[in-house]
Amino acid sequence: MSWDIFNIIGTIAFALSGGIIASEEDYDLIGYYALGFITAFGGGAVRNLLIGVPVSALWSQGSLFLITFILITVLYFLPINKLVNWKYWSFSFGLLDAIGLSAFAIQGALYAKNLGLPTSAMIVAALLTGVGGGIIRDALSKRQPFVFKYELYAFWTILAGMILSFQIVDKDIYYYFLFVIVVLLRMLSIKYHWHIPRPQKQKMNEFKINQ
């Protein structure tokens, strides 16, 4: 049941985030569908390929495809510029993305766990399910992928996978608590610009010159 709930939450959140990106890029309806569906299902498709699940498993989610189709269609025809306060636009996108990231990371880890796969597979499944669709979305819209640049994006999926791999209590409340924690950590990392330390550009430039 937890697997299904997190799958639904992640699909809705990422479908909407893909539609928001399409809106910002001024795409047509086909562009909305492309980014919405790819963001919602791309990570799961990549995960399935890597952990050995038949690709056909993707097509068994008919109800989620229908939900995504309806959401994207409504989003396309809504006058977003009149309904949304642009002051909070970036926050809304960040929150949707954080919800999708957390839900899919947990769902991916649980998927691998239910297959009896080891800890490493759970972490990879959490990572790919959480960030895979976003990477494809950003690549198609010619944006720098969050996972490679912005504040501790992929780190939270890895952390969720690790925590779930070592869990002792197997209860739904445990998963929901972790979901809320990952969302909060992601939003805090956006607010306070937490990130993995990077090499100083000046030193990198000096290295290139010396080469």
- Distance set, CA 38 to CA 87, 168, 181, 183, 191 (Å): 27, 34, 26, 21, 27
Would you state the pLDDT for residue 29?
Answer: 95
Would you state the pLDDT for residue 206?
Answer: 46
Tokens of 35: 């980014």
pTM above 0.75, yes or no: yes
Confidence grade of residue 201 (pLDDT, cut at 50, 70, 90): low
Tokens of 62: 């008919």
- In this predicted model, what pLDDT tens digit does every residue of 88-131 receive, in sequence order? 667 778 888 899 999 999 999 998 998 999 999 999 999 999 99
Confidence grade of residue 24 (pLDDT, cut at 50, 70, 90): confident
- Name the average pLDDT for the chain: 85
Would you state the pLDDT for residue 155?
Answer: 93
Tokens of 174: 């445990």
Confidence grade of residue 83 (pLDDT, cut at 50, 70, 90): low
Q: CB under 8 Å to 112, separation ≥6 — which residues?
A: 51, 121, 122, 124, 125, 126
- In this predicted model, what pLDDT tens digit does every residue of 176-190 receive, in sequence order? 999 999 999 999 998
Would you state the pLDDT for residue 105?
Answer: 95
Report which residue type is found at 137.
R
Rounded Cα gap, residues 204 and 208, in angstroms: 6
